[in-house]
Amino acid sequence: MGPDEDREQTEARLRDLRRASIMHVDMDAFFVSVELRARPDLRGRPVIVGFPAERSVVLSASYEARRFGVKSAMPMAVARRLCPQAAIIEPRHKLYYEVSGQLMAIFESITELVEPLSVDEAFLDVGGAIRRLGPPSEIGQLIRRRVAGELGITASVGIAASKFVAKIASTRCKPDGLLLIRPEQTVPYLHSLPVNALWGVGGKTAEVLARMGIRTVADVAATPVSSLKKVLGATGEHVHRLSWGIDSRTVTPVRVEKSIGAEETFAADTADDALLHRELLRLSHRTAERLRASGLVARTVALKLRYADFSTVTRSRTVHTPLDSAQLIYAVAIQLLESLGSRPLTVRLVGVRAEQLEAAAQTSLQLSLDRRDDNWRAAEQALDKVAQKFGSKSVLPARLLEPGSGNS
């Protein structure tokens, strides 16, 4: 066999491997996994990340806790009834975003085509890395080894010819697994799954389809598009295409976060202005920390209030100079709160959000006429460095110190 034939065979093999080179990489119980690095004594036990207040929600649950029915976004009161023996760990959001940054750096060392979906998952197109690193399955195992070795957490990897099927594969191999679905396996594999495996088919849609006798993906594939559109509208064509594995979306590496924010539900409804102001300051610091960690600034600040009857009001204000300072975000939030006037009911939830984001490096952070604005920003950057070295609770604004905490 001559060199030309060798080259042709090599290129043919590369083309074949690239037919299934889209990955969905998803961390397993991310917040819990990060916390267990410092609490190895809790491994193998039910663990919940979230605030212990009855009206808070579960942010993450270990697989041991999930066996009792505990799920993310579930009210903490319900989770504690289902699994009273679970250890509850208060969240450390800044730490999670730091680990997320390290995770994305691992992905970007493999391929430039990385599309983050959230702090702990992303799509990757590794087609261009095959010649250098080997087949997609080997690249997936490399990513899992690096995530485990460098970050101390586990990842599940789905590999397929499309984003939709790769996402299904990662879900089906959790926790700590890898599943490759080749193009020729795609349709048989999909047709073995229940109908709710399809994107866009939630509980209500599944009920509608069940009344038509449609319970599996194979049933959807065998149903005329016209019949599906009669009951599902435009979604009918969408789910029919997915049932045949048709998903032409590419991995899009540029994905600008639209907003960054934080909110808190009070343990008891409140009408206390001092408590509201204190919580707004805390949320402003959480929001500003995330902005700076992401290298972003905001042109708009939004306030969210939810009253005791669950009615919700939001207000926002655009500022002249982009900001990433907690004190400046807080000042705008207080102005928005005062603009609401007297409140008709006690407050159940309060939130702060930074919007109209742009890269800080591309933005001129001009000094305002008041030098204190820049002084606040410099002070908060110094706090970031202290928090990175000693932990996020080492230094806090005096108003946020807990009574009797002994901090100074």
**pLDDT tens digits along 29-83:** 999 999 999 999 999 999 999 988 767 889 999 999 999 999 988 999 999 999 9
Query: Would you call 5 a catalytic residue per the annotation?
Result: no
Q: What are the tens digits of pLDDT across the range 267-306?
A: 888 999 999 999 999 999 999 998 888 888 898 999 999 9
Q: Is 120 annotated as a binding residue?
A: yes
Does the pLDDT of residue 403 top 70, yes or no? no
Tokens of 317: 């204000």
**Claim to verify: residue 169 and residue 28 sit in the same structural domain:** yes
Distances (CA, A) of 217 to 168, 225, 301: 13, 13, 44
Based on the fold, state whether residues 305 and 363 are members of the same structural domain.
yes
Q: Contact, 28 vs 82, CB < 8 A?
A: no
Report the amino acid identity of residue 319. V
Tell me, yes or no, whether 152 and 198 share the same domain.
Answer: no
Average pLDDT of the residues of the chain = 86
**Does any domain span residue 334?**
yes
pLDDT at 337 over 70: yes
Residues 220 and 263 in one domain: no
The number of distinct structural domains making up the chain is: 3
Give CA–CA dist 13/355, Å, rounded. 47
Catalytic one of 121, 264, 279, 380: 121
Same domain, 300 and 360: yes
Phi-psi domain of 356 (left: phi exceeds 0; alpha: psi -120 through 50; beta: other): left
Rounded Cα distance between 210 and 56, Å, is 34
- Domain of residue 196: give its range: 191-243
Residues 203 and 350 in one domain: no
> Mean pLDDT throughout 231-238?
86
Classify residue 31 as exposed, middle or buried by CB count within 10 Å of its CB (0-12, 13-18, 19+). buried
Same domain, 197 and 223: yes
Residue 368 predicted with pLDDT over 80: no
CATH number at residue 112: 3.30.70.270
Per DSSP, which regions of 324-408 are E strands? 347-359
Residue in the block written with tokens 């690193």: 133
Same domain, 142 and 210: no
Instruction: State the CATH number of the domain containing residue 198.
Output: 1.10.150.20
Asked if residue 140 and residue 199 are part of one domain, the reply reads no
| HEC profile of 28-75 | CCHHHHHHHCCCHHHCCCCEEECCCCCCCECCEECHHHHCCCCCCCCE
In this prediction, residue 366 has a pLDDT band, given cuts at 50, 70 and 90, of very low
Distance of alpha carbon 117 from alpha carbon 111, whole angstroms: 16
Of 181, 208, 230, the one marking the end of a domain is 181
Mind spelling out the 3-state secondary structure of 255-277? CCCCEEEEEEEEEEEECCHHHHH
Is there a single domain that holds both residue 356 and residue 387? yes
Distances (CA, A) of 212 to 54, 206, 219, 336: 41, 10, 10, 50
Interval 246-273: pLDDT, tens: 998 899 886 556 789 999 988 888 999 9
Identify the bridge partners of residue 49 per DSSP, sorted by sequence position.
60, 89
Residue 363 has pLDDT above 60, yes or no: no
pLDDT at position 174 is: 95
The residue written with tokens 């920003």 in the block is 377
Among 132, 153, 181, residue at a domain's last position: 181
Neighbouring C-beta atoms of residue 141, cutoff 10 Å: 14
28 has binding-site annotation: no
In 233-368, which ranges are continuous DSSP H helix? 234-243, 273-294, 326-339
Residue 5: band (very low, low, confident or very high) from pLDDT cuts 50, 70, 90: low
